[in-house]
Structure formats: structure tokens, C-alpha cells
């Protein structure tokens, strides 16, 4: 991966952007895209990067820019903060994590607390842990001290720096879905270097983890002729993940093309044909209806949009240490740009 692209992805991962407040991540995305595209935002905070603006037909390339997070629900008189998940969390991965609370006066650090094992009996240890049994400790002296720094409704993210692993792999929070937001911008850059006949709009959409809000509003406003949705997907190259459920998906195996009931058949056919023509190794995932991605909203917008879904393999999704292979990211961006150049091959709507 070229140095500028690598830096962009790492800056995206470092920026906080829980569903509902994606402003910091959006700033990073817009600054990068401004180097090759016409960039703007919308009322909800989604970002747009338009290239080949004179194209008569348009394709939207969406990667949601939000991440799962936390929201403060109560501050008790002892100064501890109680919270709910914003998006899907398993309580076990939150225990003892460091937290960055996004307040109006700037970030406030904290840690997730839980009773030490010495203070729990066997019955407690045997019960499944719930998010509502955890709290955040910011080191406050009491409730008044905590309330002077944090308010109910403040959002938060896990404070987990990037860890470079062996080869081209790294671990970080927010890979879901800064990987897709990266591809949406990077594919626009590649398309700008060698455009086809269509107008391409890269989109960093907001709110996917909670409501698909950015996908609905972006698709309605752009009214594209087709859409390519970029997200992450589970791998089966890890212990206790059955291939019969997930499929044969591996890190480093290339982009994953979604096929089945949740995506338009003409789109997944075209994506597969382009991958073969370009010599880009790909993998396949199966959809039985809902894709769990922005495609579920985009395809139902206005009179309907033909959608394809391409995913980046991701180990340990919805955890503070999601693992991605940078080679997969690079290949996915190249594939999306190549597909955009071949959209004239789509049969007309009858």
C-alpha cells in the first residue's frame, strides 16, 4: 500500500466516530478526499467525494464511517459512570478496557470496572456477564466531580491504539467499518486517475451501526443509478468459527463478493466478471436476505437501487482488536474502481 494511503487508513482508525457523532473521523475522510474529488457533507454528517462530475449516470460507493461505542446513562454519587452500548457489544470484551469519553470540553479518559475475582463467589463467576453490570471509572472524587466533567448522553469509544502484527496485518478498534470508509475514498481516488463514463460518488455514511440513517439519506439525496456497498465480514480462519456458517473466508484471501438474496444478481455477476478480468483474487459470501450492511437501506430508496456488496475480511468483529490485512484493503479499492469503469456493461432497466 502506498504511504499516503496507509497514513490515511491509520488516521481514520485513530479518530473517534461512534454512531451519532462521526465528526472527527469525517474530518479525516474529507481532508484526504479533497485531494482528488469535490467534497461536501450533509445534515447528518455523511461525507461525499464526487469524481467525474460530468458523467450522466452515477454510482454511489458507500462505506459507513461510524463505529460501535458507548453512551453514558447515569453518574452516581460516588462518581462512577454507567453506560449502554451503541451498537452490538459482548460484555466480556469490554472488561478492563480503557475508554475515551467525548465531552463538549474534550476527551476524558476512563477505564471499565468490574469486581475483582477475589471479591466474587463461584455462582457470580459462572453467570454470563452483562453490559449493565459494568461501569466506567474516570478517577473522580465523587459524583459532583464526575458530573463537572461528563454529562449523561456523552458518547465514548474504546481507547485502543493500532497494533502492527506480522506482515501486512494490523489490529485496532473501528476496523468495522473504517475499512469500508477507506475503500470508498480510495476507490474514488483510483477512479479519478482513470475514470469511466459514470459519475462516482464515494460516501462515508453515518449511523450504520444503529439505524442505517446515513445510507437512507445519502441514497435518497444522490439518487444513484447503482451502488456498491463496502463493509467488513467475518472470517472462518480462526478457532471455533464453522465454515458451514460463515463460508471459506480468510484474511489475505482478497475481497469478499456477497451473493444471494440480499444483493442484485446483475451487480454480483458484474463484480465477479471484473475481478476475473483484472486478476484480483476474490472470495464469496452468501446472503439469505438482509445483508446487515448499508445495502439493506440503499436498495429500498426511492424506486429502488441495484446494489452490490463487497466486504473486507475481518477477524474479531465488534471487539477492541479487530484484525485486517492491508493487502485485502488495497485489492478491494482496486476492484471497486475497476467495477465502476465497467458499469456500462450493466443491462438497462426494463
**Which residues are part of the catalytic machinery?**
208
Residue linked to cell 484471501: 253
Residue linked to cell 439469505: 288
Contacts of 148 (CB under 8 A, 6+ apart): none
Shortest CA distance to 129 belongs to which of 175, 158, 159, 96? 96
Q: Rounded distance, CA 255 to CA 245, Å?
A: 18
Contacts of 28 (CB under 8 A, 6+ apart): 8, 11, 12, 15
In the DSSP assignment, the letter for residue 237 is S
Using alpha carbons, list the distances in angstroms from residue 259 to 212, 287, 290.
Answer: 21, 6, 12
CA 164 centroid distance within chain = 19
Shortest CA distance to 217 belongs to which of 202, 207, 226, 227? 207
In the DSSP assignment, the letter for residue 181 is H
Shortest CA distance to 299 belongs to which of 209, 228, 236? 228
Q: Rounded distance, CA 196 to CA 214, Å?
A: 26
Residue 269 half-sphere exposure, CB side, CA atoms within 13 Å?
A: 7
| 210's grid cell | 444503529
Using alpha carbons, list the distances in angstroms from residue 217 to 57, 207, 296.
Answer: 19, 11, 13
In the DSSP assignment, the letter for residue 65 is -
| 221's grid cell | 439525496
Amino acid at each position: 500500500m502506498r504511504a499516503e494511503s496507509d497514513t490515511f487508513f491509520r488516521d481514520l482508525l485513530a479518530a473517534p466516530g461512534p454512531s451519532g457523532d462521526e465528526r472527527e473521523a469525517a474530518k479525516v475522510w474529507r481532508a484526504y478526499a479533497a485531494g482528488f474529488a469535490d467534497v461536501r457533507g450533509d445534515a447528518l454528517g455523511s461525507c461525499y467525494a464526487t469524481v467525474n462530475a460530468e458523467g450522466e449516470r452515477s454510482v454511489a460507493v458507500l462505506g459507513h464511517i461510524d463505529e460501535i461505542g458507548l453512551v453514558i446513562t447515569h453518574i452516581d454519587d460516588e462518581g462512577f459512570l454507567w453506560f449502554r452500548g451503541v451498537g452490538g457489544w459482548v460484555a466480556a470484551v469490554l472488561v478492563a478496557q480503557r475508554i475515551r469519553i467525548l465531552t463538549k470540553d474534550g476527551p476524558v479518559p476512563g477505564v471499565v470496572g468490574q469486581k475483582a475475582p477475589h471479591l466474587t463467589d463461584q455462582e457470580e463467576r459462572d453467570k454470563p456477564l452483562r453490559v449493565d453490570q459494568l461501569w466506567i471509572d474516570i478517577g473522580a472524587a465523587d459524583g459532583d466531580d464526575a458530573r463537572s466533567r461528563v454529562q449523561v448522553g456523552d458518547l465514548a469509544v474504546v481507547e485502543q491504539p493500532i497494533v502492527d502484527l506480522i506482515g501486512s496485518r494490523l489490529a485496532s478498534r473501528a476496523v468495522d467499518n473504517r475499512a469500508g470508509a477507506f475503500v470508498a475514498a480510495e476507490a474514488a481516488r483510483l477512479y479519478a486517475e482513470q475514470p469511466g463514463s459514470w459519475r462516482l460518488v464515494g460516501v462515508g455514511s453515518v449511523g450504520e451501526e444503529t439505524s442505517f440513517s446515513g445510507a437512507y439519506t445519502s441514497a435518497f439525496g444522490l439518487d444513484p443509478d447503482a451502488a456498491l456497498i463496502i463493509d467488513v465480514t467475518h472470517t472462518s480462519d480462526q478457532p471455533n468459527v464453522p465454515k458451514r456458517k460463515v463460508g471459506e473466508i480468510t484474511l489475505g484471501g482478497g475481497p469478499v463478493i456477497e451473493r444471494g438474496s440480499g444483493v442484485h444478481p446483475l451487480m454480483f455477476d458484474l463484480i465477479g466478471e471484473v475481478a476475473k478480468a483484472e486478476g484480483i483474487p476474490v472470495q464469496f459470501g452468501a446472503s439469505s436476505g438482509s445483508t446487515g450492511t448499508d445495502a439493506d437501506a440503499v436498495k429500498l430508496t426511492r424506486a429502488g437501487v441495484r446494489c452490490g456488496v463487497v466486504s473486507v475480511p475481518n477477524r474479531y468483529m465488534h471487539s477492541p482488536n479487530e484484525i485486517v490485512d492491508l493487502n485485502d484493503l488495497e485489492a478491494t479499492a482496486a476492484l471497486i474502481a475497476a467495477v465502476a469503469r465497467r458499469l456500462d456493461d450493466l443491462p438497462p432497466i426494463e
